[in-house]
Amino acid sequence: MAKFDMQLDVLFTALGDPTRRAILSRLARGPASVSELAAPHDMALPSLMGHLKKLEEAGLISSHKDGRVRICTLNPAAFAPAQDWLSEQRAIWTTRLDQLDDYVTQLMQETRK
Amino acid sequence: MAKFDMQLDVLFTALGDPTRRAILSRLARGPASVSELAAPHDMALPSLMGHLKKLEEAGLISSHKDGRVRICTLNPAAFAPAQDWLSEQRAIWTTRLDQLDDYVTQLMQETRK
């Protein structure tokens, strides 16, 4: 499987969970500690850490230790392959719909002759 | 869990697989029969049908019987929640970066005084 394909697998799968999306939305507002990220979620810490690990593996977040506190930061650039893939699909079907539109217009003009 | 959240879960999870993305890319070019969709994939038919089922559950494709042939069609509108969610995140971090930029500019101006 191509590297780009594997990257998209990991990325879309990471986005397919409400806790992980909530963490990303929080981090879009600025870096946060693990306990700040855990606060809104009724979840055991190991489960939350599991979600953070998946986001880190997808490259969507990075983390560093600041004394005894682990701080997480969003990596906005990591969303790009997902956005690019969705835009590509839109371009393909828009082109197809334009071609269909041209064809129908041409057909109508020929019928009028 | 909110309905919108569940919809995003199903949608992003459906996109997190290379076979399913290849099927969507093919259908963006126009409707296709199940056997046309299966042709490029080295996969047993039940596995392929499983992928089609997941795409149908996510609302990304629909299918109908044309005689003995099942035809699948893309539903481009179903991509919208994923695109909207990604755009929202971008808007949040762009606003934050603009605010940081304003703050730094202001700080530099004050230092120069």
Task: Tell me the per-residue pLDDT of A27-84, one tens digit each, with 9 for 90 and over.
Answer: 999 999 999 999 999 999 999 999 999 999 999 999 999 999 999 999 999 999 999 9
* pLDDT recorded at residue A1: 57
- Give the confidence band of B91 by pLDDT, cuts at 50, 70, 90: very high
Number of domains in chain B: 1
- Give the confidence band of B97 by pLDDT, cuts at 50, 70, 90: confident
Q: pLDDT for A5-38, tens place per residue?
A: 889 999 999 999 999 999 999 999 999 999 999 9
| A84–B contact, CB cutoff 8 A | no
State the nearest Cα–Cα gap between B67 and chain A, in angstroms: 25
Which domain CATH number covers B12?
A: 1.10.10.10
* pLDDT recorded at residue B1: 56
* pLDDT recorded at residue B17: 96
Instruction: Output the CA–CA distances (angstroms, integers) from residue A39 to A14, A33, A35, A99, B75, in the order listed.
Output: 20, 10, 6, 52, 38
State the nearest Cα–Cα gap between A71 and chain B, in angstroms: 17
For residue A30, count other CB atoms closer than 10 A to its CB: 13
Alpha carbon distance B59, B7 (integer Å): 9
Q: pLDDT for A80-103, tens place per residue?
A: 999 999 999 999 988 888 888 888
Q: Is the pLDDT of residue A113 over 80?
A: no
Q: Kindly determine whether residue A83 and residue B85, on different chains, have CB atoms separated by under 8 Å.
A: no
Q: Kindly determine whether residue B16 and residue A11, on different chains, have CB atoms separated by under 8 Å.
A: yes
The answer to whether residues B88 and B52 touch, using CB atoms and an 8 Å cutoff, is no
Average pLDDT, integer, range B53-58: 96
ipTM, two decimals, is 0.86
- Domain membership of residue B91 as a residue range: 2-112
More confident residue, A75 or B96: A75
Q: Which residues contact A76 (CB under 8 A, 6 or more apart)?
A: A28, B89, B90, B93
State the nearest Cα–Cα gap between A79 and chain B, in angstroms: 8
Buried b / exposed e over A2-12, threshold 16 CB at 10 Å, is eeebebbbbbb
Predicted TM-score of the model (pTM): 0.87
Average pLDDT, integer, range B72-84: 95
The answer to whether residues A55 and A23 touch, using CB atoms and an 8 Å cutoff, is yes
Percent of chain B with pLDDT over 70: 99
Of B28, B85, B92, the CB nearest to A93: B28
